Amino acid sequence: MSSEPRLWLASASPRRRELLAQIGVPTRRVYCEVQEQVRAGEGPAAYVQRVTRDKVLAGVAAAPGGAVVLAADTAVVLGAEILGKPRDRAHALQMLGALSGREHQVMTAVAVACDARLELRLVSTQVRFRALSAGEMEAYWASGEPLDKAGGYAIQGLGAVFVDHISGSYSAVVGLPLLETAALLDGFGISCWQPC
């Protein structure tokens, strides 16, 4: 039996679980819910770090004592505005239209905690979209992919064809910055490339 400590993932995101599996880190899910509304006067960086901190602390409270818990949150930011998940077709088309031909930021915070110890990193990536036609945006909405995605698109899916340029961490745009995550996990005694 492996002596590696098990990582508990305080996230419902299948993408984050897949990214951790990609670097050889098995996880167990811990269920927790936190308030994800932006507070008055709260900027995007402060928001994504607060939500991530709240998630990992809720995960620590729900997991067995001494468990190592990871949580993350991603925000798509255009100017100073956080673009959340689309509420409906009109909202998705509005967001895609706003992103068309422009550069935006994707901010992902990742936190690892065990008992009272908590470490957090914030990663910001620049993403530029090419100009999108109305027909493309309609077809993309019809695919169903934008429904549960921050900013209304998935860089790892069909939305990849919209991306003209990226500067920073691709995996952070998907939902988890793997370089920073691996370093955090190493500090908590969890190594990558664990045998299956």
Q: Are 59 and 113 in contact (CB under 8 A)?
A: yes
pLDDT classification of 1: cutoffs 50, 70, 90: very low
pTM of the model: 0.93
Give the model confidence (pLDDT) of 128-159 as tens digits: 999 999 999 999 999 999 998 999 999 999 99
- The mean per-residue pLDDT over the stretch 41-69 comes to 96
CA pair distance 120, 20, nearest whole angstrom: 17
Tokens at 175, concatenated? 């939902």
Residues annotated as part of the active site: 73
Give the model confidence (pLDDT) of 166-177 as tens digits: 999 999 999 999
CA dist list (Å): 146 to 48, 161, 165, 188:
20, 14, 20, 35
- Helix pair 178-187, 14-22: axis angle to 10 deg: 70
Q: Are 137 and 97 in contact (CB under 8 A)?
A: yes
CA pair distance 192, 11, nearest whole angstrom: 19
CA dist list (Å): 130 to 66, 94, 103, 182:
47, 16, 9, 32
Instruction: Write down the residue that tokens 């190493």 correspond to.
Output: 186
Give the model confidence (pLDDT) of 83-131 as tens digits: 999 999 999 999 999 999 999 999 999 999 999 999 999 999 999 999 9
CA dihedral sign, ordered 191, 182, 171, 94:
positive
Average pLDDT of the chain to the nearest whole number: 95
Residue 81 one-letter amino acid: E
CA pair distance 115, 69, nearest whole angstrom: 9
Tokens at 134, concatenated? 């109305």
φ/ψ region of 146 (left if φ > 0, alpha if ψ in -120 to 50, else beta) reads alpha
